[in-house]
Structures are given as structure tokens and as C-alpha cells.
């Protein structure tokens, strides 16, 4: 498939970019303090694997190895199917897509540290619309569809995101294949274009990546194909516009591609602008844009938005969300790392300065202009925008830059060195093997990806905000898997890195509380409340700590503050009820019940349970007072009225208890417990004749209730009517009632 017509070593200069890339991969192994996170993959693989990759990287420079690769490539003819036999063409079209999908799924990411994977999955589960609304709605719709729109959800947001990621990868491979065929006139050129795209670190987006960027990258690939097709063959403008709209809806960063698309339509109309004039316009537009950005930052416009989301142009006192100024050596280092990671084949783009062809097809010139402007504006956007996290954390946001950049590199190589396409294709395959494969492999391994992310958070050019964000991700991850020690260490580091973030303080206090380190947790919760007095979860948890430390008054103060700010905060009702019962605050209990009732929270069973616990603690009279207050305040609540009667009875006030039950009965209450207890109390007070009427009515209303039958039998037994008592006990026994020992003798006679 790939043929090498000339010895690639006739011009050593052509392979120097590959040699330089190979050397860059060795540097992180030799000195871990050098910030080369764009080519640090070898640091996380075994020594033998490094040796094999290094050896292959050296061997691929030699003609015999390249010829061997070319021979192997010829056997994969299904990659470029014959158009004469449609069946074979379709098979050759489908097989690579199926294989790519399987590879994407088998080697998908083990963790979701890169980006906001864990946050993204949580938002899908909760239906929260993230910064990319269309992507959020798409992911959430697929999530609900695959789960049949029913809870509990059996397919997790991680799995759904991985499926979308893999599907996006298949779409990407499809358009990469079509674009490579469109741009090539022979198999060597086809292989170069395709391998240039497949060797990009951007490919990781399709290996089960849990974030919104995989569909966006696939859309950008489709846009490049339709744009190039229009310039080369006069393809439909509608497809170009549709792809641009889809890309922009999936992520607003696609705005950087709009000037390129506009230029595309200008070029397709036959206009032939001067490259020098075009770049002069671009240069002045960039200077004007940066000047406007500087003025907006100086004026602190839009509540500091331009300080938060864009790099400051010059050194100075800036907010902690910013890692470094735009005009600095660090910016160059981070930009280089980003480009090396997402598009390593771009190291060959510098060969375009060696020589230019004397003549060039107009379509090729137009395609180069389209790609150059797209890449230039995309890189400018990437450099100035959204650096509050840091490039190594945001590699995925601008990963799609690699698509036009890889295409631009491949076309330049084909244009400048048409007879060396086979050699460059082999070198692109070498890049895929020494960088892209280990990059994907280490992220498919839980331990290795965890180690790399930890190194990134600890040793790189991150702002305080970004470092706090990274440590928070690690801390929450370790808390999720039960590693409390490491979770506490990283959550503590989070607060140290970004002490102004109250959410980080809250997370630290929560894990300290889980470890029973209550004094430390209370102090951190108090710091949270000092900075945000309306942080209700922190107040609520602080109240719980005060309660556990035996200070119900201070606990009640916190819960009352929570409900004062938000009466619908359900988590505070129960602990405040505990505090009121502990303090003997009858009025507080009544008021709390009323507030909860207005907000749809029924606390009847809770107060009954708490009152019984208080009664067992020796506060029977207070319990009777509480339940009496509740019964008087809510006469329609039969549970409170019944429990009040029982509390009176247990407090030794049997007549008062009977009187309250009879009052309930007289008001039309015919519940089993009401009638049963009236009958029992009457018997105990020596009025069994009257109890018979109550039990007779209860039996008529509840013939299948065994307790009524047993109590009815006891009334007959007390009156000396053993025959009727035996009749009722027989029925009760048939209903599986538990017969008291003193009544069993009636049945045994």
C-alpha cells in the first residue's frame, strides 16, 4: 500500500523533527522536574516497554523498516476499497469502522480525572444543564432513553458517556477516511493523511471519554471534510453550514472556525486573495482583539469576567484563577505541551519553510488557506481563553485544534515533498506507536492514570484555582472509593491551594466529621459559615456536630438559622426536632411541626418516636404535655390524639386517658386502636358491661382483627361468660392470634 520510491535518508533534515520528538520523550524520564507533560507518556510505562518504543522509534528511520511497514500496509487493501466491486467496497468501508469501535471500547479510560468526568456524570444523573447546554441535553436524553425513562437507572452516566464517545469516534474515523481519500492521489498520500489524523492525542476523546467533547471533535472533523470537498470538488454549501452549526451548538469554542468557513465561501466563489494581505488582516485583527481584551481587563468589565476566563496580557497582581500572563515564557511552554500532546505530527509542519513548489493547484492553495486561518484563529483562542484551569487540565477543551492542524501538516508535506509521502506516512505511524498508543494505554490503566494526574496537579504550571480543583478531584475520588487517609490529605491540600473556595472547606470538614474528628470538623465548618453565612449544608452539619458533642442548645441555633433562610430545607427538621425534645421545648416542637407541614414534610411519626424515647428516659409527664399540645393543636391528627391518650395511661392517669379516647370516639373516630383501647380501659376500671358494646361494634367493623377478638373474649371472661369467651378465642385462634396464657385454659377445658 505504501511504496518508498526514494531513500528517505538522502536528506537527513526531513527526519529531524521525528528525532527531536523522540528525544523529547526521553527528557521526562531523565528529569521529572522539567515541565513536558505533552510528551511524558513514557514516564508511566515499564522499562521494557520504553526500550521497545525507543528501539522502534530509531528503527523506523531506516529504509528497510519503512519498506517492511509498506509491505504490511499493502495487505490492508480494505482501507482503500476498490470502487469497481461495490460489495468489496462496502465491506472495506464497514470493517475499519467496526474494528475502530471495538478498539475504542476495549481500551477506554479507566478513570475520569482528565477533564470534569466525574462532575459531568453527576450532572447527567441529576439533570443539571452544564456550560454546554446542547451537549448536556443530548447526553441526558440518551441517558434517559437507554434507561427506558424509568428510575432506578441501570445504565450509569459513565457508560452512556462512554457509548457516545465511542460512537463519536466511529464518525470521526469515517470522515477521516473520506478526507484522506479526498486529499490523496495515491496510497502513500492516503496513508499519510489518515495516519496524521489517527496519531493525534485527540483520539483519546473517543476511548470512552466522559465529557462533552467527543461529539464536538467528530463535528469538527466533518466540517473539515465538507469544507475541503467544497474547495476541491465544489461540494454542497449546505453540508458545510450544517456541520458548522452542529459544531457551534455542541461547543461555543467553534466560533474560532467561523472566519475560516467565511474564507472558504469566498474562495469557492473564485476570489483569489493575497496570502500576505490575508495574514496582515489577521495580524491587525489579533492585535486589536488583544488590545480590547486588555482594556476590558483594566476596566474590570462584566464583574471581572475577562479576568476570570482570559489570561492577563502582562505580569501583575491577578486573581488566583489565573496561572500566568499571556506574554510570558510559561505560556509558550504550555502551548507547546498542548500542541505536542494533541497533534504531535505537527512537528513536521516546520519543513514547510524549507521550500515551496513552483506551481500549485488552485484548489490545493485554497485548502491550505482555509486550514491555515482555521488553525491560526483556533490557536489564538486556545491561548487567551479559559485558562482559569490550566492547559494540562483543559487539554480536551481545545483538542479539536489537532484536526485542522494535522490536515494542514499532511497537505504541506505532500505539497512540498510529493515523492516522500511514504516515508512521512511511516514516520506518522511511528508517532502513533511511540506517543499516541502509550497515551491511550496509560489512561486505560487505573493506577497509571491516577499517578499521572497526581503528578500534573503537584508539579505543573497551574493556578491556585486549578491546583485546588485538581486536589479536590483527587480527594473526592479517594473518598468515593473509601481511601479516607488519602482523601483527607488531598482535601487538606485543596484548602491550602485555594483557601478562598468555601466548597473546598466544606468538603474537608465533611470528611473530618466522617472520621469522628469533630472538633476539627466544627472549626472548619465555622470557617465556611464565616465566609458564607447562607451555606446551609455547612450550618446543618455543624449543628449535628454540636448535637453529637452534647450541646443541643447550640445545635438548635444552627438548625433554626437554616430554616430561617430556607424553611424547605428538609435535612434540618429531624435534628432540630431531636434538639427540641432534648431541651424539653414543647412550643418549639409545635411550631416546627407546623412549618414542616406547610412545606410538605410530615413529622408525626418522628415526634411520636422521639416522645416514646423521651418517656423511656424518665420524662413521662413532659411527653404527655408535648403530645397533649400536639393533639390540641391538630385535633384532626388521630395519631397524636391516640398517643396522647396512651401517654396519659402510662403516666398513671387512666381516667384522663379513657376520657380522651371516648372524646375521639364521640367525634366519629372508629379506628381499631381507639375502640380497642376504650374497651380495655373500661374493663380495667371495672366497667366490662359497657366495654362489651364497644367490642361488639369493633368486631362488626373489623371481623378479621384478632386483637379485637382476644380483648372481646377477655371482657366475657371477666364477666364469667366462659362460653362466649371461648367462642371469641376460637375465632381469634383461627386468625392466628397470640392467645395470652391465662386465657388458654378456657380453650383447654
Residue by residue, DSSP assigns 305-363 as HHHHHB--SS-S---TT--S-SSSHHHHHHHHHHHHHH-GGGGGGGGGGT---S---HH
Q: Rounded mean pLDDT of 630-634?
A: 81
- Given a contact cutoff of 8 angstroms between Cβ atoms, the answer to whether 131 and 166 are in contact is no
- Distance, in Å, from the CA atom of 569 to the CA atom of 172, rounded to the nearest integer, reads 47
On the 0-12 / 13-18 / 19+ scale of CB atoms within 10 A, 147 is middle
For the cut 50, the answer to whether the pLDDT of residue 9 exceeds it is: no
- Given a contact cutoff of 8 angstroms between Cβ atoms, the answer to whether 664 and 690 are in contact is no
Q: Rounded mean pLDDT of 17-46?
A: 91
Query: What's the mean per-residue pLDDT of the chain?
Result: 87
- Distance, in Å, from the CA atom of 283 to the CA atom of 197, rounded to the nearest integer, reads 28
Compute the radius of gyration of the chain from its Cα atoms.
38
> Cα 43–44–45 angle (5° rounding)?
100
Contacts of 82 (CB under 8 A, 6+ apart): 88, 89, 92
Dig out the grid coordinates for 603 from the structure: 413529622
> Cα 232–283–373 angle (5° rounding)?
20
- Distance, in Å, from the CA atom of 54 to the CA atom of 433, rounded to the nearest integer, reads 10
pLDDT for 153: 87
Q: Rounded mean pLDDT of 422-438?
A: 95
Residues making up the chain, counted from first to last: 749
- Given a contact cutoff of 8 angstroms between Cβ atoms, the answer to whether 325 and 338 are in contact is no
Q: Pick the most confident of 353-362, 484-493, 641-650.
A: 484-493
pLDDT for 40: 92
- Distance, in Å, from the CA atom of 43 to the CA atom of 33, rounded to the nearest integer, reads 12
> Cα 711–714–717 angle (5° rounding)?
160
Q: What is the DSSP letter of 434?
A: I
Taking residue 670's Cβ as centre, other Cβ atoms within 10 Å add up to 12
Contacts of 40 (CB under 8 A, 6+ apart): 28, 452, 455
pLDDT for 503: 92
| Residue 676: C-alpha distances to residues 385, 458, 583, 636, 739 (Å) | 75, 71, 34, 19, 16
Provide the terminal-to-terminal Cα distance of the chain, rounded to the nearest Å.
104
Q: Rounded mean pLDDT of 451-462?
A: 83
- Distance, in Å, from the CA atom of 301 to the CA atom of 324, rounded to the nearest integer, reads 20
CA atoms within 13 A on the CB side of 168: 32
**Alpha-carbon dihedral angle through residues 623, 627, 633, 639, given to the nearest 10 degrees:** 160
- Given a contact cutoff of 8 angstroms between Cβ atoms, the answer to whether 397 and 306 are in contact is no
- Distance, in Å, from the CA atom of 349 to the CA atom of 496, rounded to the nearest integer, reads 43
Dig out the grid coordinates for 510 from the structure: 465533611
Percent of the chain residues past pLDDT 70, beyond the cut:
93
Q: What is the DSSP string of 697-743?
A: HHHHH-TT-HHHHHHHHHHHHHTT-HHHHHHHHHHHHHTT----HHH
Q: Lowest-pLDDT range, 7-21, 263-277, 293-307, 701-715?
A: 7-21
Nearest to 427 by CA among 73, 7, 54, 17: 17
Taking residue 452's Cβ as centre, other Cβ atoms within 10 Å add up to 22
- Distance, in Å, from the CA atom of 492 to the CA atom of 489, rounded to the nearest integer, reads 5
Listed in order, the ranges of the chain carrying CATH 1.25.40.10 are 463-532, 538-591, 670-749
SS3 278: helix
- Distance, in Å, from the CA atom of 96 to the CA atom of 173, rounded to the nearest integer, reads 8
Q: Lowest-pLDDT range, 411-415, 605-609, 696-700?
A: 605-609
Dig out the grid coordinates for 74 from the structure: 499493502
Q: Rounded mean pLDDT of 436-440?
A: 96
Dig out the grid coordinates for 285 from the structure: 485583527
pLDDT for 507: 93
On the 0-12 / 13-18 / 19+ scale of CB atoms within 10 A, 447 is exposed
CATH 1.25.40.10 fits 463-532, yes or no: yes
pLDDT for 92: 64
pLDDT for 89: 56
More confident residue, 544 or 737: 544
pLDDT for 445: 93
Dig out the grid coordinates for 274 from the structure: 493575497
- Distance, in Å, from the CA atom of 38 to the CA atom of 15, rounded to the nearest integer, reads 20
- Distance, in Å, from the CA atom of 136 to the CA atom of 125, rounded to the nearest integer, reads 11
pLDDT-derived band at 441, boundaries 50, 70, 90: very high
pLDDT-derived band at 653, boundaries 50, 70, 90: confident
Q: Lowest-pLDDT range, 252-261, 342-351, 414-423, 595-604?
A: 595-604
DSSP H stretches of helix in 653-705: 654-666, 672-684, 688-701
Percent of the chain residues past pLDDT 90, beyond the cut:
42
- Architecture field, domain 538-591: Alpha Horseshoe (1.25)
Q: Lowest-pLDDT range, 49-53, 110-114, 162-166?
A: 110-114
Nearest to 207 by CA among 164, 146, 144: 164
Please write the tens of the pLDDT for every residue from 187-245. 899 999 999 999 999 999 999 999 999 999 999 999 999 999 999 988 889 999 999 99
Our measurement of the distance from residue 73's CA atom to the centroid of its chain's CA atoms, rounded to an integer in Å, reads: 40
On the 0-12 / 13-18 / 19+ scale of CB atoms within 10 A, 322 is buried
**pTM for this predicted structure:** 0.79
Dig out the grid coordinates for 356 from the structure: 515551496
- Distance, in Å, from the CA atom of 350 to the CA atom of 21, rounded to the nearest integer, reads 13
Helix, strand, coil distribution of the chain in percent, nearest 5: 75, 0, 25
Superfamily of domain 670-749: Tetratricopeptide repeat domain (1.25.40.10)
Q: What is the DSSP string of 458-484?
A: HHS---HHHHHHHHHHHHHHHHHTT-H
Convert 362-414 into a string of H (helix), E (strand) and C (coil): HHHHHHHHHHHHHHHHHHHHHHHECCCCCCCCCCCCCHHHHHHHHHHHHHHHH
For the cut 50, the answer to whether the pLDDT of residue 78 exceeds it is: no
- Distance, in Å, from the CA atom of 472 to the CA atom of 470, rounded to the nearest integer, reads 5
- Distance, in Å, from the CA atom of 346 to the CA atom of 336, rounded to the nearest integer, reads 11
For the cut 80, the answer to whether the pLDDT of residue 460 exceeds it is: no
pLDDT for 387: 58
- Given a contact cutoff of 8 angstroms between Cβ atoms, the answer to whether 101 and 166 are in contact is yes
Nearest to 57 by CA among 429, 436, 346: 429
- Distance, in Å, from the CA atom of 625 to the CA atom of 631, rounded to the nearest integer, reads 10
Q: What is the DSSP letter of 671?
A: -
Q: What is the DSSP letter of 153?
A: P
pLDDT for 318: 62
Please write the tens of the pLDDT for every residue from 289-315. 999 988 988 888 787 778 777 888 888
- Distance, in Å, from the CA atom of 565 to the CA atom of 572, rounded to the nearest integer, reads 12
Residues 408, 413, 416, 419: is their CA dihedral positive or negative? negative
- Given a contact cutoff of 8 angstroms between Cβ atoms, the answer to whether 536 and 566 are in contact is yes
CA atoms within 13 A on the CB side of 444: 18
Please write the tens of the pLDDT for every residue from 135-171. 999 999 999 999 988 888 889 999 999 999 999 999 9
Amino acid at each position: 500500500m505504501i511504496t518508498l520510491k526514494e531513500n528517505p535518508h538522502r536528506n537527513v533534515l526531513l527526519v529531524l523533527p521525528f528525532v527531536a520528538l523522540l528525544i523529547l520523550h526521553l527528557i521526562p524520564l531523565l528529569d521529572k522536574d522539567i515541565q513536558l507533560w505533552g510528551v511524558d507518556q513514557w514516564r508511566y510505562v515499564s522499562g521494557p516497554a520504553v526500550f521497545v518504543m525507543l528501539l522502534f522509534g530509531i528503527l523506523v528511520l531506516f529504509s528497510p523498516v519503512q519498506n517492511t511497514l509498506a509491505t504490511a500496509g499493502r495487505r490492508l487493501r480494505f482501507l482503500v476499497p476498490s470502487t469497481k466491486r461495490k460489495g468489496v467496497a462496502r465491506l472495506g468501508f464497514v470493517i475499519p469502522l467496526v474494528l475502530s469501535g471495538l478498539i475504542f471500547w476495549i481500551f477506554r479510560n479507566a478513570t475520569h480525572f482528565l477533564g470534569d468526568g466525574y462532575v459531568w456524570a453527576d450532572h447527567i444523573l441529576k439533570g443539571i444543564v452544564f456550560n454546554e447546554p446542547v451537549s448536556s441535553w443530548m447526553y441526558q436524553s440518551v441517558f434517559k432513553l437507554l434507561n427506558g425513562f424509568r428510575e432506578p437507572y441501570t445504565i450509569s452516566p459513565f457508560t452512556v458517556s462512554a457509548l457516545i464517545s465511542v460512537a463519536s469516534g466511529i464518525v470521526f474515523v469515517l470522515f477521516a477516511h473520506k478526507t484522506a481519500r479526498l486529499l490523496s492521489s495515491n496510497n502513500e498520500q492516503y496513508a499519510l493523511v489518515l495516519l496524521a489524523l489517527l496519531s493525534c492525542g485527540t483520539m483519546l476523546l473517543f476511548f470512552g471519554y466522559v465529557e462533552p467533547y467527543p461529539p464536538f471533535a467528530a463535528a469538527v472533523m466533518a466540517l473539515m471534510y465538507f469544507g475541503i470537498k467544497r474547495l476541491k470538488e465544489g461540494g454542497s454549501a449546505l453540508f458545510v453550514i450544517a456541520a458548522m452549526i452542529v459544531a457551534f451548538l455542541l461547543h461555543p469554542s467553534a466560533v474560532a472556525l467561523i472566519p475560516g468557513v467565511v474564507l472558504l465561501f469566498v474562495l469557492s466563489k473564485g476570489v483569489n486573495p493575497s496570502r500576505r494581505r490575508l495574514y496582515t488582516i489577521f495580524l491587525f485583527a489579533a492585535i486589536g482583539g488583544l488590545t480590547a481584551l486588555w482594556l476590558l481587563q483594566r476596566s474590570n468589565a462584566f464583574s471581572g469576567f475577562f479576568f476570570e476566563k482570559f489570561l492577563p496580557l502582562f505580569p501583575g497582581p491577578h486573581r488566583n484563577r489565573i496561572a500566568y500572563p499571556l506574554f510570558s515564557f510559561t505560556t509558550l511552554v504550555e502551548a507547546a505541551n498542548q500542541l505536542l500532546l494533541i497533534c504531535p505530527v505537527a512537528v513536521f509542519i516546520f519543513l514547510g519553510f524549507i521550500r515551496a513548489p513552483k506551481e500549485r493547484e488552485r484548489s490545493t492553495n485554497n485548502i491550505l488557506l482555509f486550514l491555515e486561518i482555521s488553525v491560526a484563529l483556533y490557536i489564538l483562542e486556545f491561548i487567551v481563553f479559559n485558562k482559569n484551569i490550566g492547559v494540562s487540565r483543559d487539554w480536551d477543551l481545545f483538542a479539536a485544534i489537532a484536526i485542522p492542524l494535522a490536515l494542514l501538516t499532511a497537505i504541506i508535506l505532500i505539497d512540498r515533498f510529493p515523492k516522500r509521502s511514504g516515508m512521512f506516512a511511516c514516520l506518522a505511524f511511528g508517532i502513533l506507536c511511540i506517543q499516541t498508543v502509550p497515551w491511550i494505554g496509560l489512561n486505560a490503566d487505573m493506577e497509571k492514570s491516577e499517578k499521572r494526574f497526581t503528578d500534573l496537579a503537584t508539579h505543573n504550571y497551574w493556578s491556585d484555582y486549578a491546583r485546588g480543583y485538581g486536589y479536590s478531584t483527587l480527594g473526592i475520588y479517594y473518598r468515593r472509593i473509601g481511601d479516607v487517609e488519602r482523601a483527607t490529605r488531598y482535601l487538606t491540600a485543596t484548602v491550602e491551594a485555594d483557601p478562598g473556595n468555601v466548597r473546598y472547606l466544606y468538603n474537608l470538614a465533611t470528611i473530618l466529621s466522617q472520621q469522628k474528628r469533630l472538633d476539627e470538623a466544627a472549626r472548619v465548618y465555622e470557617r465556611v459559615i464565616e465566609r458564607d453565612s447562607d451555606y446551609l449544608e455547612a450550618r446543618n452539619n455543624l449543628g449535628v456536630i454540636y448535637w453529637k458533642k452534647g450541646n443541643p442548645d447550640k445545635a438548635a441555633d444552627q438548625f433554626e438559622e437554616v430554616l430561617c433562610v430556607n424553611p424547605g430545607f428538609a435535612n434540618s427538621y429531624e435534628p432540630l426536632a431531636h434538639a427540641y425534645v432534648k431541651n424539653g421545648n414543647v412550643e418549639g416542637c409545635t411550631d416546627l411541626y407546623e412549618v414542616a407541614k406547610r412545606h410538605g414534610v410530615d413529622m408525626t411519626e418522628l415526634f411520636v418516636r422521639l416522645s416514646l424515647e423521651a418517656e423511656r428516659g424518665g420524662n413521662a409527664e413532659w411527653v404527655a404535655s408535648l403530645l397533649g399540645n400536639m393533639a390540641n393543636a391538630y385535633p384532626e391528627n388521630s395519631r397524636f390524639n391516640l398517643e396522647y391518650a396512651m401517654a396519659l395511661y402510662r403516666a398513671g392517669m387512666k381516667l384522663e386517658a379513657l376520657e380522651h379516647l371516648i372524646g375521639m370516639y364521640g367525634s366519629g373516630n372508629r379506628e381499631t386502636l381507639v375502640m380497642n383501647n376504650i374497651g380495655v380501659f373500661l374493663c380495667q376500671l371495672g366497667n366490662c358491661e359497657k366495654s362489651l358494646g364497644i367490642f361488639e361494634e369493633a368486631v362488626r367493623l373489623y371481623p378479621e382483627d384478632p386483637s379485637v377478638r382476644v380483648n372481646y373474649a377477655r371482657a366475657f371472661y371477666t364477666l364469667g361468660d366462659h362460653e362466649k369467651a371461648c367462642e371469641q378465642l376460637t375465632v381469634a385462634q383461627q386468625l392466628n392470634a397470640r392467645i395470652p396464657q391465662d386465657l388458654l385454659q378456657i380453650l383447654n377445658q
